[in-house]
Structure formats: structure tokens, C-alpha cells
Structure 1
């Protein structure tokens, strides 16, 4: 009977299995980072578009200079309901303008009501 001595080393099968496991882990981490970066860049573009929309709407309110992205609708009377917690709703009728902003790519759509003085 032949005794097997304690030999130190790694077999080829162990190396292949460890490389496969490492590949699976690296693939999942790369996918995670990729989707995270895509989300960050998308949020940045959306934030820039919202900022531009706010600037154009504020410029219109201050100077009444209308751009192609802004549509103004005059509202003679509008009923708005304001609700405070614990109290019955308050109805308010007022005149003003409804200002709508839509950018070229339809990424941003803002609506604002400006009451008349």
C-alpha cells in the first residue's frame, strides 16, 4: 500500500473554479458601477434642464419676454382649494396667468400660476 504524502499546491481545477468565481464577481460589480454612473449622469442632465426651465420662467415673470418654450394662458377666474391640517378647506377665486414650460426634448415640464396684482 502506497501512502500519499501531504503535497502543497493548487490543482488546475481549483484555479479554473477560482477564476470563474472571480469573473462572476467582477462582472456584477462592473454592472453595478455602470448603472450607477448612468443614473448620476442622467440626474445631472435633468437638473440642468430644470434649472434652465426655472431661469426662463423667472425671466418671463420679471420681463414678460416670452421664449418658444413658454406658453402663457390667461385665466379669468380660477378656484383653488387650500387645505390646512385639522381645518376645513378654504376655497379661493383669483385671476392670473398659467405659465407652462416644455423644453425641446420633453425632459422637463413645469406649470406655474402667477396671480394678477
Structure 2
């Protein structure tokens, strides 16, 4: 056999196939990452809407359920706070619920 320099057509085809497979895999990873970023952004917007609703209810002193919270301190002493229980949920199909207690 002669001493050949260069690469054969089979080697070129195999290297192109390997590069193509790696390219498809990396594009799939980036696509999944972009979808997750988009989903997280939408969820953040929904949570901020629910937070605004809670803030509005806190400012409106007529909303909420009258309730009391008992805090047990070290030494077995207790303190009772009277206030309102504020709840807000989202109805757009995303499970977001914020519950807070506002002291009078």
C-alpha cells in the first residue's frame, strides 16, 4: 500500500454525523432551559398579582377574618394577638395561595 496523506470520505461522514448528534443534544438542552425560564417568569407574574391582592386587602381594614394568634414564649408565657387573617388565591389554573395574619 501507498503511504496516503489525508482522510477518507468515510471518516468525513462519520465526523459530520458525530458533530450533528452533539449539536442536536445541545440544542435540546437549551430549549428545555428556555421553556423553564419562561414558565418561571409566568409563575412569578401570577404570584405578584396575588401579592397585590393581599396588599389591597391589608390596606382595606374591612376585609379578612377576625382571628387571634397565640405565641408561646420561652418560660411558658403566652401572648395573644388579635387581628385579621388575610387570604388570596389565584384562579388562573396555577396553585398560588398566600395567607397572612395582620395584627390590629
| TM-score, normalising length: structure 1 | 0.72
Matching of residues 1-117 of structure 1 within 5 Å: 4-64=1-61, 72-75=64-67, 77-81=68-72, 88=74, 91-104=78-91, 105-116=93-104
**Unpaired runs of at least 5, structure 2:** none
Query: Contact conserved, 1:74 with 1:96, CA < 8 A, in 2?
Result: yes
Over 3 Å off, 4+ runs: 88-91
For residues 38-63 of structure 1, give each alpha carbon's deviation from its aligned partner in whole angstroms, at most 9, with x where no partner exists: 11111111111111111111112113
| TM-score, normalising length: structure 2 | 0.80
**Separation in 2, partners of 1:65, 1:11:** 82
Deviation, structure 1 residue 92: 2.9
Task: Let me know the Cα RMSD of the aligned residues.
Answer: 2.3
For residues 54-98 of structure 1, give each alpha carbon's deviation from its aligned partner in whole angstroms, at most 9, with x where no partner exists: 1111112113586xxxxx3321x322357xxxxx47743111111
How many residue pairs get aligned? The number is 102
- Larger fraction in helix: 2
